[in-house]
Amino acid sequence: MGFLSNFQNYDSSYLLLQSAIALLVTASAYGLYRGYQVRSMFQSLKKQGIPLMPHSMIFGHLEVIGKLMSRIPSDAHGDYMMVLIQENWKELFPACSKCPPVLYIDLWPFAPPMLISINPDTSAQCTQDYSLPKAYQQKRTLYPLTRNRDVSSMEGAEWKVWRKRLNPGFSIQNITSRISDILEEVEVFVGVLEARAGKDGAWGEVFPLEEATTNLAMDVILRFFLNQRFHQQTGPRSPITAALLDTISRMYFYVNIFNFLSYISPWRHFKLWLNYRTLFNSLSPFLTERINEIQKNSQVTNKTLVDLLVKSMDEEKGTNGAAGDLSTNMDFLETAIGQITTFLFAGHDTTASTICWLFRLLEQHPDVLAKLRAEHDAILGPDPSQAAAALRANPQLLNALTYTNAVLKESTRVHTNVGTMRRGEPGFFLTGPPGSGPECEGKQMPTDGFVVWDGNFAIHRSPEVWPRPNEFLPERFLATDENDPLHPPKNAWRFFELGPRGCIGQHLAMVEIKLVMALVVRRFDIECAWDEWDSKRNFKGPRNMVWGDRCYQVGGDSPPHVKDGMPVHVRVIALDQSDAVLAMPSSPASTLAPRLPSTRLRDVVRGRRAVAHSSFSLGRFGLLINMICVERIVFSIVIFCMQVALPVNGSSMNYASVVFADFAGINVI
In this structure, what are the phi and psi dihedrals at residue 261, rounded to the nearest 5 degrees?
-65, -40
> Quick check: helix, strand or coil at residue 102?
strand
The percent helix, strand, coil of the chain (3-state, each to 5) is 55, 10, 40
Mean residue pLDDT of the chain comes to 84
pLDDT of 625 above 70: no
Q: Classify residue 589: in a domain, yes or no.
A: yes
pLDDT of 146 above 80: yes
| Helices (H), ranges, 455-499 | 456-459
Q: Are 392 and 183 within 8 A, CB to CB?
A: yes
Q: Classify residue 316: in a domain, yes or no.
A: yes
What local confidence, expressed as pLDDT, does residue 198 receive?
Answer: 95
pLDDT of 658 above 90: no
**Lowest pLDDT segment from 430-444, 504-518, 609-623:** 609-623
Q: Domain tally for the chain?
A: 1
What local confidence, expressed as pLDDT, does residue 292 receive?
Answer: 84
- Could you report the per-residue pLDDT of 357-411, keeping only the tens digit for each? 999 999 999 999 999 999 999 999 999 999 999 999 999 999 999 999 999 999 9
Q: Classify residue 29: in a domain, yes or no.
A: no
What local confidence, expressed as pLDDT, does residue 2 receive?
Answer: 53
What local confidence, expressed as pLDDT, does residue 143 receive?
Answer: 94
Mean pLDDT of 106-133: 96
pLDDT of 614 above 50: no
What local confidence, expressed as pLDDT, does residue 615 receive?
Answer: 34
Residue 287 CB coordination number (10 Å): 22
Q: Classify residue 138: in a domain, yes or no.
A: no
Q: Are 192 and 525 within 8 A, CB to CB?
A: no
- Could you report the per-residue pLDDT of 563-591, keeping only the tens digit for each? 999 999 999 998 655 443 333 333 333 33
- Could you report the per-residue pLDDT of 588-603, keeping only the tens digit for each? 333 333 333 333 332 3
Overall pTM surpassing 0.85 (yes/no):
no
pLDDT of 622 above 90: no
Which amino acid is it at 452? V
Q: What is the CA radius of gyration of the chain?
A: 27
Distance CA 466, CA 469 (A): 5
Q: Classify residue 242: in a domain, yes or no.
A: yes
What local confidence, expressed as pLDDT, does residue 5 receive?
Answer: 53
- Could you report the per-residue pLDDT of 409-422, keeping only the tens digit for each? 999 999 998 789 99
Mean pLDDT of 34-49: 94
Structural domain for 522, as ranges: 144-419+455-605
pLDDT of 6 above 70: no
Q: Classify residue 395: in a domain, yes or no.
A: yes
Give exposure, 472-505, as e/b (b: 16+ Cβ within 10 Å): bbbbbbbbeeeebebbbeebbbbbbbbbebebbb
pLDDT of 604 above 50: no
- Could you report the per-residue pLDDT of 491-517, keeping only the tens digit for each? 999 999 999 999 999 999 999 999 999
Closest CA to 125 of 417, 454, 439: 454
Distance CA 541, CA 549 (A): 16
pLDDT of 64 above 60: yes
Distances (CA, A) of 442 to 42, 101, 124, 448: 20, 11, 15, 18
Q: How confident is the model at residue 26 (pLDDT cuts 50, 70, 90)?
A: confident
> Between residues 302 and 128, which one has the greater pLDDT?
128
Distance CA 501, CA 127 (A): 8
**CATH code at position 378:** 1.10.630.10
Running DSSP on this structure, what letter comes out for residue 466? S
Mean pLDDT of 464-487: 95
> Between residues 295 and 254, which one has the greater pLDDT?
254
> Quick check: helix, strand or coil at residue 77?
coil
What local confidence, expressed as pLDDT, does residue 313 receive?
Answer: 80
Residue 503 labelled as part of a binding site:
yes
Q: How confident is the model at residue 8 (pLDDT cuts 50, 70, 90)?
A: low
> Between residues 653 and 562, which one has the greater pLDDT?
562
> Between residues 541 and 571, which one has the greater pLDDT?
571
Q: Classify residue 381: in a domain, yes or no.
A: yes
> Between residues 139 and 526, which one has the greater pLDDT?
526
Mean pLDDT of 628-644: 39
Q: How confident is the model at residue 255 (pLDDT cuts 50, 70, 90)?
A: confident
Q: Classify residue 130: in a domain, yes or no.
A: no
pLDDT of 108 above 50: yes
What local confidence, expressed as pLDDT, does residue 318 receive?
Answer: 58
Q: Are 321 and 479 within 8 A, CB to CB?
A: no
Longest Cα separation, the chain: 101
Looking at the chain, the whole-number percentage of residues with pLDDT higher than 90 is 67
Looking at the chain, the whole-number percentage of residues with pLDDT higher than 70 is 82
Distances (CA, A) of 189 to 195, 232, 233, 295, 504: 10, 10, 7, 35, 25
pLDDT of 9 above 80: no
